[in-house]
Amino acid sequence: MLEEYKAHHKAVWPDMLDALRRSGWRNYSLFMGEGGLLFGYFEAEESFAASLEGMSKEEVNQRWQELMSPFFEIPPGARPDQAMVELEEVFHLE
């Protein structure tokens, strides 16, 4: 299902992109490794928690998460965005 997942992300719905921007997501990237390991990075306008909370209120996000759920190994009834965790930056080279 990796190619299908990539195809969805080459054509993210415009209203989903608008919702991300409204919720303070900036410089958002997804990276995929072999076997489907996925790493996402974004800079939050306010905070990680505020950005997630903002998206949780967006109707388009509910639809997108439902579409993406089959691509993730998550607990039954959970959405992929509920499995996100904030990582601590320990090094940055500018």
Catalytic machinery residues: 9
d(CA 80, CA 91): 27
Structure tokens at 51: 């950005």
Q: What angle do CA 49, 53, 58 make, to 5 degrees?
A: 150
d(CA 76, CA 3): 23
